[in-house]
Amino acid sequence: MAMKIRLARGGSNKRPFYRIVAADSRMPRDGRFIEKLGTYNPLLPKDSEERVKMDMERVQYWLSHGAQPTDRVARMLEAAGVKEKTERNNPNKAKPGKKATERAEEKAAKVAAAAEAAAAPAEEAPAEATEDAAAE
What is the tens place of the pLDDT at every residue in 31-82?
A: 889 999 999 999 999 888 899 999 999 999 999 999 999 999 999 998 888 8
Calpha distance 78→92 (Å, rounded): 24
* Residue 18, domain CATH: 3.30.1320.10
Please indicate, yes or no, if residue 88 is contained in any of the structural domains: no
Asked if residue 57 is part of any domain, the answer here is yes
pLDDT greater than 90 at residue 93: no
Pair (13, 76) in one structural domain = yes
Residue 64 in any domain: the answer is yes
Q: What is the CA radius of gyration of the chain?
A: 31
Reported as type and span, the H/E element at residue 111 is: helix 98-135
Residue 55 to residue 123: CA distance in whole angstroms: 78
Same domain for 73 and 37: yes
Domain count, the chain: 2
Element of type H or E holding 115: helix 98-135
Predicted confidence band at 104 (pLDDT cuts at 50, 70, 90)? very high
- One domain, residues 100 and 70: no
Per the CB < 8 A criterion, the answer to whether 38 and 47 are in contact is no
Give Cα separations from 110 to 56, 100, 102 (angstroms).
60, 15, 12
Residue 5 Cα to chain centre, angstroms: 22
Residue 89 resides in a domain: no
Looking at the fold, whether 119 and 53 belong to one and the same domain comes out as no
Cβ pair 44, 25 in contact under 8 A: no
Q: List the one residue out of 18, 3, 1, 4 whose CA is nearest residue 69.
A: 4
- Average pLDDT rounded to a whole number, residues 4-31: 92
56 and 30 both lie in a single domain? yes
- What is the C-alpha separation between 40 and 103, in angstroms, rounded? 42
Is 85 within a domain?
no
Output the pLDDT for position 29.
Answer: 87
Question: What domain range is 136 assigned to?
Answer: 94-136
